[in-house]
Amino acid sequence: MAMRLIHSLVVTCPVTVKLGAPARVVSSARRSRVGEWRGVSSGARPLVFAKAKQRGESVGEEEDRARIEDHHQQLADDDEEEEEEPFVRFEERDFAGTASVPVYVMLPLGVIDMKSEVVEPEELLDQLRTLKSVNVDGVMVDCWWGIVESHTPQVYNWSGYKKLFHMIRQLGLKIQVVMSFHECGGNVGDDVHIQLPQWVREIGQTNPDIYFTDRAGLRNSECLTWGIDKQRVLRGRTALEVYFDYMRSFRVEFDEFFEDKIITEIEVGLGPCGELRYPSYPAQHGWKYPGIGEFQCYDKYLMKSLKEAAEVRGHSFWGRGPDNTESYNSTPHGTGFFRDGGDYDSYYGRFFLNWYSRVLIDHGDRVLSMANLAFEGNCIAAKLSGIHWWYKTASHAAELTAGFYNSSNRDGYGPIAAMLKKHDAALNFTCVELRTLAQHEDFPEALADPEGLVWQVLNAAWDANIPVASENALPCYDREGYNKILENAKPLNDPDGRHLSCFTYLRLNRTLLESQNFIEFERFVKRMHGEAVSDLGLLPRVKETKLE
């Protein structure tokens, strides 16, 4: 079950708290958003309002006035005590003595430019020293296919990454490496644009079916369709061979970092954003949260696979995609396919979803086989997207379009965990900082449940006996978010003592390094490492501000 902080204080109205110099907490009627302090869930000290009342007996006007004045004096005395106390107090779990969970920090997406050079190396070195000063274990680095093999097939330029890795090693930090076979740009948090290799895009101009395609024929160039995993359409090579050659080149080029145990894990990109999922909710095609997304199987290679599967099943007319799923920003109940009792649970619907999800699992299976060949004896991992919206509906529509066949009567993550177990691969999962209540406050129509999803996925992986790592889905600088991560990292009273194998923070930037933000981050790192903190259950007060 998901765990929540238990607060002993009663809050009469929401408060917004931002870390800063000690001062009073001021109430606000504004509804908070994810990533901000919330009075109810953070346990911030409440303002108590009262008025003098007669308690069943008749009292005179003078006595009544005296009682009210006494009460006002008491409130004034309380205010003076508040101003002397620089903290608000709230109950907070003590993680001292718990298992140490390594903490890594993602480097900026554009830390290496298109010329394969380190961007602003002096500033980066100072930032890395700052991370090292609070005992961060290491960093995560995206090795972009679009930079390294940009112009010519099998001609790799690792020069910028070599310089970067030497900088990191000199500071005594470890490295998680991502084999990034996807495009950067157009998704949440993307601040640079790194396309697929130029020679691949040239192929795509004459053969656009190398990309995922939706029902309207819109192509998505974020990554290559899994339909060409075994098709020799990339200058005589299959997509699998291209991925293997790239990974093998990296393994040879960075041998010293493997030998010295500086590289601790290779996360293998398996789809858009490096995640094992279909690009079902692309902003470039107009998707907005919490739209259900669309199926992405209409390139000629995947459609051929679907038709063959339908013929084997004995129903060749099933060799098509569903035609009643509406559009990217539809709701489940606004479609014939995803609504309660809809076609997703018909004979055809179950056939299609089984095929669609099986293509996803088979792709992961094939690429991870190549990864184990390339990185023999080293830890590999795969990343799964935390698609938590519409989780409280029967169909789980947003998960279905992304390839996770996780409707209410079916476990969609157990088969993925079993595939990862086959390759001794770790599972990296997102959205561990999100709270279901906060999602309901901000987007009640989305019927989201990130806590339920995280618990389901983590247990599916632990049941398969594979390591589970995680990262935050959105920027996180506040104690509430950190506490939620800690709760998921080290479940309370777990009889088997299960915990995350590591946590990767998204991401290094100047905002993280701001004074109060970094103090909170250092505190979080200590607790992830199982160290004691001196301010347990104490939250700095804020300056008094009034909102219009």
Mean pLDDT of the 488-505 span: 96
**Beta carbons of 364 and 270 less than 8 angstroms apart:** yes
Which of these ranges, 30-39, 62-71, 157-166, 246-255, has the smallest mean pLDDT?
Answer: 30-39
Q: Does 317 reside within a domain? A: no
Confidence band of 524 (pLDDT split at 50, 70, 90): very high
Q: Does 469 reside within a domain? A: yes
Mean pLDDT of the 522-538 span: 96
Q: Does 351 reside within a domain? A: no
Confidence band of 79 (pLDDT split at 50, 70, 90): low
Flag whether pLDDT at 236 surpasses 50. Answer: yes
Report which of residues 129 and 37 the model is more confident about.
129
Flag whether pLDDT at 41 surpasses 80. Answer: no
Domain that holds residue 504: 103-212+223-288+361-529
Q: What is the CA radius of gyration of the chain?
A: 26
Ligand-binding annotation for 340, yes or no, is: no
- Whole-number pLDDT of residue 360: 98
Ligand-binding annotation for 182, yes or no, is: yes
Cα separation values, 242 from 213, 291, 367, Å: 21, 34, 10
Report the chain's mean pLDDT, rounded to a whole number.
87
Q: Does 517 reside within a domain? A: yes
Mean pLDDT of the 176-203 span: 90
Catalytic residue among 183, 275, 294, 480: 275
Domains held by the chain: number = 1
Catalytic residue among 471, 480, 487, 520: 471
**β-pairing, 211-213 with 219-224?**
antiparallel
Ligand-binding annotation for 473, yes or no, is: yes
Q: Does 84 reside within a domain? A: no
Ligand-binding annotation for 463, yes or no, is: no
Q: What is the pLDDT of residues 399-411, one digit of tens each?
A: 999 999 999 999 9
Ligand-binding annotation for 388, yes or no, is: yes
Ligand-binding annotation for 190, yes or no, is: yes
Ligand-binding annotation for 472, yes or no, is: yes
**In the structure encoding, which two tokens stand for residue 300, read together?**
């000629």
Mean pLDDT of the 248-264 span: 98
Flag whether pLDDT at 368 surpasses 50. Answer: yes
Long-range contacts of 249-252 (CB under 8 A, 24+ apart): 249/154, 249/156, 249/158, 250/143, 250/156, 250/158, 250/177, 250/179, 250/374, 251/374, 251/375
**Beta carbons of 284 and 389 less than 8 angstroms apart:** no
Q: What is the pLDDT of residues 267-284, one digit of tens each?
A: 999 999 999 999 999 999
Report which of residues 204 and 35 the model is more confident about.
204
Percent of the chain with pLDDT over 70: 82
What is the DSSP code (8-state) at residue 54?
-
Mean pLDDT of the 238-245 span: 98
Confidence band of 185 (pLDDT split at 50, 70, 90): confident
Distance of alpha carbon 222 from alpha carbon 10, whole angstroms: 48
Ligand-binding annotation for 507, yes or no, is: yes
What is the DSSP code (8-state) at residue 99?
P
Distance of alpha carbon 298 from alpha carbon 215, whole angstroms: 6
Confidence band of 23 (pLDDT split at 50, 70, 90): very low
Q: Does 352 reside within a domain? A: no
- Whole-number pLDDT of residue 481: 95
Domain of 200, CATH number, reads: 3.20.20.80
Ligand-binding annotation for 354, yes or no, is: no
Q: What is the pLDDT of residues 369-413, one digit of tens each?
A: 999 999 999 999 999 999 999 999 999 999 999 999 999 999 999
Flag whether pLDDT at 56 surpasses 50. Answer: no
Q: Does 61 reside within a domain? A: no
Q: What is the pLDDT of residues 445-496, one digit of tens each?
A: 999 999 999 999 999 999 999 999 999 999 999 999 999 999 999 999 999 9
Distance of alpha carbon 349 from alpha carbon 347, whole angstroms: 5
Q: Does 32 reside within a domain? A: no
Residue 275 catalytic?
yes
